[in-house]
Amino acid sequence: MKFSRPRALIALLIVLFVPSLPRASRAPAQFTRAEEPAATLPEPQWEIDAGGAARFDLASVKQNPADGAWHSNVPLTEEGDSTGEDQLLATDVPLNLYIAFAYKVSARQSLQMRSRLPKWALTARFDIEAKAPTQNPTRDQMRLMMQALLAERFHLAVHRESRESPVYELVLDKPGKTGPNLQPNSAGPPCFVAGDADSVPAQKGLPATCGALTPLAPSVPGRMRMGVRGANMEQIAGYLAILGATDRDIVDGTGLPGTFDFSIEWTPDSIGPLPPNFQPDPTGPAFLDAVREQLGLRLRPATGLVEMLVIDRIEQPTPN
């Protein structure tokens, strides 16, 4: 089982899903693994269930020159049904995050998508104010409206592909038992919405906000620790693929329903880019050991279908 050495992937994931940290300056990752020919996928079931094409009644898109923490009244990096909002108010949000929200892509798919975006689309931030045509639309209905807005203002065109490819299957290390750092979300405190939890303390050592992978203070200097609340196992598989910088996608094979809170702490490779003055702790667990001991999971080589969102066209935004 091979892992790629560079740790820039972790920085890219933080850019995608952690609102409080600055963007990474490294170039997006390139995926060069040999793959079988791709098959174009039909419209996903969630889009059909949400009612198909939809549009905002009114919308404003403005480029924001700032480079700080983004904010949105509608969570863009979380699962969920109702938004509780009939409008979207988002500021300083990277364009790739709007695209990931609109098409409901996973963490790993987001990194693959970034590798196919032009440079300006990775650096520019945008404010969007948009009014939905109905009261309290679902999260998926809001995604469809965002698809239409991106197509109109950025001339965005995409398609989904599926490839048969080597993967790692995420399975339980011991039948019927998870590790101490992987527990059902229902057993913990309630979730908070991104942007509203700034003054809320961490919940049992985990982020107060659900759905956003967040850096956490390690127990020992020289280790890395990350955590998330309210994630399903498919999302967790995607997060582990990024954190471990695996050479294959990770697919969920646990069969565990519902959402979970998890944290993982490990000593990163000393080979490859690391933070300045970072001294890896030689006593800390390797990533795979941490997955097994802390989460009660392991990776099993397999073959499976890997889905990805392919960018066919994108242009600088048109005026409001």
- Give the pLDDT of residue 63: 94
- Give the span between the Cα atoms of 107 and 212, in whole angstroms: 11
- Give the span between the Cα atoms of 133 and 124, in whole angstroms: 28
**Is the confidence at residue 317, as pLDDT, over 50?**
yes
Q: What percent of the chain has pLDDT over 70?
A: 77
- Give the pLDDT of residue 55: 93
Q: At 262, is the pLDDT very low, low, confident or very high (cuts 50, 70, 90)?
A: very high
Lowest pLDDT segment from 44-53, 76-85, 123-132, 234-243 = 76-85
Residue 302 pairs with which residues in a beta bridge? Answer: 167
- Give the pLDDT of residue 23: 30
Kindly report whether the global pTM for this prediction surpasses the value 0.85.
no
Could you report the per-residue pLDDT of 92-148, keeping only the tens digit for each? 999 999 999 999 887 677 777 887 899 899 889 999 999 999 888 888 999 999 999
- Give the pLDDT of residue 81: 57
- Give the span between the Cα atoms of 138 and 54, in whole angstroms: 12
**Is the confidence at residue 10, as pLDDT, over 50?**
no
Strands 249-252 and 297-313 come out as unpaired
- Give the pLDDT of residue 17: 43
Residues 47/158, Cβ–Cβ less than 8 Å = no
- Give the pLDDT of residue 275: 67
- Give the pLDDT of residue 165: 83
